[in-house]
Amino acid sequence: MAAGFLATLLLIGIFQQTIAKPFVVTIGAALSSERHQDIFHQAVQGLNRHISPSVVFNSTSILMDANPIRSALDVCDKLLPQNIYAVIASHPNSSDQSPISVSYTCGFYRIPVIGITARDSAFSDQNVHSTFLRTVPSYSHQADVWVALLQHFKWTQVILIVGTDEEGRSILSRFQTLAEPIKIKIEKVIKFVPGENNYTAPLLNIVTAQSRVILMSASLEDAEQLYLDAIYLRLTGDDFAWIVTEQAFSALSAPIGLLGLHLINGSNEDAHIRDSISILGHGFEKAIKDHNITQPPSRCQDMGTWQDGELVMDYLRKTKLEDGETGQVSFNEQGDRQFPVYEIQNINEDNKVFAVGLYGSVKPIIEPLRMAGSITWPGGVAVQPKGQKISRNLTVVTIAEKPFVDVYKLKPGEVCSDVKEKSFYCSHTNITTGEVTHHCCSGYCMDMLNEISNIVNFTFSIHLSSDGLFGSFERHNSSKQRHWNGMIGELLSHKADIIVAPLTINPERAKVIDFTKPFKYQGLTILVKKTTKDSSLASFLQPFQDTLWILVGLSVHVVALVLYLLDRFSPFGRFKLAKSEDTEEDALNLSSAMWFAWGVLLNSGIGEGTPRSFSARVLGMVWAGFAMIIVASYTANLAAFLVLDRPEASISGIDDPRLRNPNERYRYATVTGSAVEMYFKRQVELSTMYRTMENKNYPTAEEAIEEIRKEDLQAFIWDSPRLEFEAARDCNLVTAGELFGRSGLGIGLQKNSPWTQEVSLAVLKLHEKGFMEKLDNEWILAESTSACPESNSAPATLGLTNMAGVFMMVAGGIVAGVLLIFVEIAYKRHRGLKEKELELARNAADRWRGNIEKRRTLRQTLQKQREEQIHSNALRKPPTPPIRANSTSPIRRPSFNEAMGQKILPSTNYTPTHGCQRSGRTVTWHNPAHNADYNII
C-alpha cells in the first residue's frame, strides 16, 4: 500500500513537470549578413521577455546564398534539422535576388516563410507560394498610388509603359482593375522587351496619342534607356506628366519634373526583422493556446508535409501588429502586406529629389493621399499639365437651330461683319458632294461661345454639321454595324473638339461624350396650328345648352300663367276686393303676369301688374330666386366662354388620345436622330408613339415647322424654347399641353477632354453674372415679339365677332318693335273704321227714330190743325167734304234719304219729348211745316 502511494506521488510530480514545461518554437532565418543574424537572435531573445512563459522561442539562422540551389540545400541541411516552425527570409548580400528557393523548399513542407525584402509580384500567387508572407508590398501595389495621384490631379486618360515580364503584367493588371470603376481610361499600353538598347519605336506611339500622362513601370536598367529615348523624342516637355515606380525613379537619367514613389522603411531590414519576429510571436502564442501544434519535419528526406502548417499560416495571416517599427503590419489573403506608406517624390530643376506628398498611414483613413509642397513638372514649369494634348484653336461644330444658331448664307463678296454685327464665319461641307459653302452664324450659342473663349482663353473655328443631325446611334447602311452620326459622330471621330449648339443632355450621349453644366434648362412640348373658333351670332347663348334655354323660356310662361291663376282665384286678389279702390284694369291679368315673369328674370324694374295675393307672391319670390341663380350661372359661364375664349390647340398634350392611339389621319413627328427621338425610344410607355413617328420624322426642325404651317403635319414635338419662339412669331401656331421630358442643354466635348472642367466652370460663371439671362432677353424674348392681337398669357378681350349676336338681338328687337307699331296702327285704324261705322249706324238709327217721331208728331199736329180748321170753317160756312188720305192728291212727304240728308243743328227752340237726348247733346229736327218749300197738297 505504501508502494502504491509513492507511485501515485511520483506520477503527480511527473505530470506537474510535464504541465509546467513550456512549448519550444524554433524560428529559422536566411539573412543577408551576419549583422542581421545578430539582430535576428537579439529580437528572438527579446520576444521571450514579452511572451507568455508557456511558449519559448529559439532561433537559428543561415546566410542567404546568391545561388538559389545552394540556398535550398542550406535550408535542408542547416535549418530543417533544428525543427524550425517558421523562416524569415531576406536576400543575398551581393544582389537583390528574391528568396524564391527558400519559399519553394519551405512551402513544400508547409512551413511558413516571412519575406522581409521580397517585392516580386510572383510571390502573390498563393497557388505557388502558399506559405509565403511578406512585410513589404509587391511592386504591383504601386498601382494603388498611381490611381490616387490621378484622382488628385483629375486626370482621366493615361498611357502605360510596362515591360513584357512578370512585373509589367502584374502592375498592368492591377491598374486596369482599379482604374475601370473610377472611369480612368487607358488610351495606350506601350509594352517593351526588358534589356533592349533602344526603345524609340514603342515610344513613338506616344507622339500621336491624345493623353499626355505617362505611367511607367521598369527596372533600373531599362528605365535609364527609356528616359534617354523619351528625351530624344521630346516626350518630357511641359505638356507631359510622368509618374514612375520606385525602381524607375532611381535611374540617373531621370528627367526634371518626374514624380516617383519611395516605400518608407522599404530597405530597413533591421526593422522588418523585428516586426517579423513580433508577428511570429503573437501568432504562435495564440495558435498554441488554441491547438495542440505538432512538430514540423526535421529532414528534407521526409516526404510528408507538416499537418499543422496550414493552421499556423491562418493564424499568422490574421495577426495584426498595430505599432510595428515599419508601421501597421497586416496581411491580405495573398499574404501581401496591407497599408504600406509611400513617399511621393519629385525631381526639381536642380536635379534634386524631395518629397511632395505621402500615401498611406499607420491607421487606414478615408483619404490616404496627402500632398504638400510645390511640384516641378516636366519642362521645369510649376503649372500642372492638363494631361492631354492641348490645342488652343478648337474646332467647333454646330447646327442651324433658331434662335440658338441662326445661319445666313454669304453671297460672293460679302463678309459676316457686313451681314450682322455679332456674327461669326462658319462653313458647311456637303456630305455627298463635298461642296463647301460659306455662311455666317449668329445667335444665342454663338455669343455664349465667344464669351467662353475669352474666359478660358482659346480660339475657335466653326463649321456646320455635315449631315445636319444632332447625333444618334444608328445602323450603318442597314447593316449590323452601328455608329454615331451628326455632331456626336464628328466629335467622336475627332473632326471637332467641341459642340456648341442646343444639344440635349441625355444618358445615351453622356456615355460617349462629356457634357458641361447645362447652360439652359428646357422641356419638350408640341407645336400645332391654331384651330380658331368661328364666332356665330348665337355666341352669347353658349353658356347654356339648347335644352336649358328651352326649359328657361317654358318656365317663364308657365310661372306667368300660374301667377295669373293664383291671383285671379285668390280671395285676396284685386279681382275679389269689394272695397278696393283699384279698378278691374289694375288687376293682374295674363299680360301683366307675363311682364312680371320676364321682368324678374331679366332684372328689370316692375312698375305695375304685381301679384296681390299671398300665394302668388310666394311663387313670385321663388321665381326671383330661380332667376338670380340662372342669371349668376349664365354670367359666370359667359366669362368662361367669351372673356377667356382664345384660339385653342387641336390636342390637349402628350396624353391626348390622338397621340396615344394614333391613326393615319392625324400625323405627328419629331426630328430624326435627335434627343427627342431618343427620349421616345427610351420610354416604354411611349413606345407606340415612337413606332408611329419612326418613319415620319423630318431631317430638320425647319421642315417640320413649315409642314405644320401648310397643315400637312398636325403636330410637331420638339424642344420648348424653339417651339415657343416660333409660336410667338406666328399667330397661327400654338404650343399644346404642359412641358414634359424636362432636360438641360449643354456643351459637348470629347470624353475626358482637358477643356471640360474649364468650359463647365465658365458656363457657371456666366450664369452667376447674369450673362445667360441677358442672352435670353436678347435672342429669345426680344425675337419673340409678335404682332398677334392678343397675348397667350392674358385673357382674350371680347370683340364684335363674339357679341354680334347680342347686337343682332337688339337690332331684331328694334325691327320687331317697328313692325309691331305698324301692326298696331293698322289694327287701330281698322278698329277705328269699325267703330265709326258702328257710330254712323247708331246715328242713323237715332235719326230714323227721330224722323219717325217727328212724323208722328207732325201728323198729330196736322190732324189737330185740320180739326181746328174744320171746326172754324164749320162755324163760318157750310162744311166742305174732308180730304181723304187715299186721295189722288196726297200730301207730299219727304223720303227717308231726304230726311237723313237734312242738316241737324242744335236748337233751343225745339226739344224732342220722345227720347231724343243722347250723350248730353240736344238735337233739333227741322219741321217741314216751317219750310216754305214743303207743301201739303
- Residue list for the binding site for L-glutamate: 502, 504, 509, 719
For the record, the C-alpha cell of 915 comes out as 227720347
Strand order across the 213-217 sheet: 185-192, 157-163, 213-217, 241-244, 259-263, 342-347, 353-359, 369-371
What nine digits make up the cell of 314?
491562418
307 three-state secondary structure: coil
Helix spans in 87-165 (H): 100-108, 142-153
> Which spans in 436-545 are helix H?
444-456, 486-492, 507-510
CA distances from 401 to 10, 408, 446, 520, 718 (A): 108, 12, 12, 15, 11
Rounded Cα–Cα distance for residues 531 and 648 (Å)? 6
Length of the chain: 937
C-alpha cell of residue 637: 359661364
**Cα 567 from Cα 612, distance rounded (Å):** 7
| List of residues 6+ apart from 486 with CB closer than 8 A | 399, 465, 467, 468, 469, 470, 471, 472, 673
Please state, in angstroms and rounded to a whole number, the distance separating the CA atoms of residues 260 and 353.
Answer: 10
CA distances from 822 to 811, 827, 830 (A): 17, 8, 12
Contacts of 738 by beta carbon, 8 Å cutoff, 6+ apart: 525, 653
Whether a cis peptide bond, with omega within 30° of 0, leads into 22 is no
353, 375 contact by CB (below 8 A): no
User: In angstroms, rounded to a whole number, what is the distance separating the alpha carbons of residues 416 and 408?
Assistant: 9
- Please enumerate, by residue number, every residue annotated as part of a binding site: 502, 504, 509, 719
Cβ atoms of 239 and 299 within 8 Å: the answer is no
Long-range CB contacts (within 8 A, 24+) of 688-692 = 688/660, 688/661, 688/662, 689/659, 689/660, 689/662, 692/662, 692/668
Cell of residue 3, nine digits:
508502494
- Residue 469 CA to residue 797 CA, distance in Å, equals 43
CA–CA dist 357, 339 (Å, integer):
16
CA distance 254 to 346: 11
